[in-house]
Amino acid sequence: MKFTRSWVNTTETYGWVSISIHWLMALTILGMYPLGLYIVSLGYYDPGYRIYPNIHRSIGILVACFLIIRMIWSALMPKPQIRSSSSLETIAAKAGHIALYLLLIVVVFSGYLLSTADGRSIQVFDWFSVPALPFLATRQEDLAGDIHFYASTLMMILVGLHALAALKHHYISKDNTLSRMLGIKGDSQ
């Protein structure tokens, strides 16, 4: 087993930048969902009510920044070929990736609208603030909250399917799809 050495993608494998951003975002998003569910269960007088939403919002802004970086990087880099035995799998893989990106955009944007609905900016770990846009701060927190919840729940379902597809490729198809995203070079690469 060898690790890839390139920072950039090729048509055969992902580079370390793509791999790092993928796993950083994946682990962060997987942690954000249960944190969000915990936040909505808190009562107004719970001490965590003043702490956890700020952490969730701050991490959400950082996820938005990484999403922008990832989309720019993805547009600049070649895409490794999808390893699939059927055209239906290839179509499903492409549609799944597009759906994950679109849902992540909706989740981030609805989270921003939810957090700035009262016109206040978002303090990101006391490092910087992201201002509310006055024309968007129209007290639509209920609608933004519903969109945020349902889009993030749907995204978690797709993340689960994405993980299952990677495991299927690794254990059933026995190809190197998962190994490529782990940065491992196998015999077939």
Report residue 63 CA to chain centroid gap. Answer: 7
Alpha-helix runs per DSSP H in 77-175: 87-115, 141-171
Cα(46)–Cα(33) distance, integer angstroms = 20
> What average pLDDT does range 160-168 have in this prediction?
90
DSSP-derived pairing of the beta strands 184-185 and 2-3: antiparallel
Q: Given a cut of 90, is residue 71 above it in pLDDT?
A: yes
Is the pTM higher than 0.95? The answer reads: no
Domain of 170 in residue numbering reads as: 2-185
Instruction: Give the pLDDT confidence of 108-145 residue by residue, as tens digits.
Output: 999 999 999 888 899 999 899 999 887 776 778 889 99
Report the CATH number at residue 30.
1.20.950
Report residue 155 CA to chain centroid gap. Answer: 9
Q: What is the pLDDT of residue 60?
A: 96
Q: What is the pLDDT of residue 139?
A: 73
Q: Report DSSP letters for 20-76, one per residue.
A: HHHHHHHHHHHHHHHHHHHHHH--TTSGGGGTHHHHHHHHHHHHHHHHHHHHHHHHH
Q: What is the pLDDT of residue 130?
A: 94
Q: Which of 154, 150, 148 is nearest to 57 (CA)?
A: 148
Cα(32)–Cα(57) distance, integer angstroms = 10
Q: Given a cut of 50, is residue 73 above it in pLDDT?
A: yes
Number of domains in the chain: 1
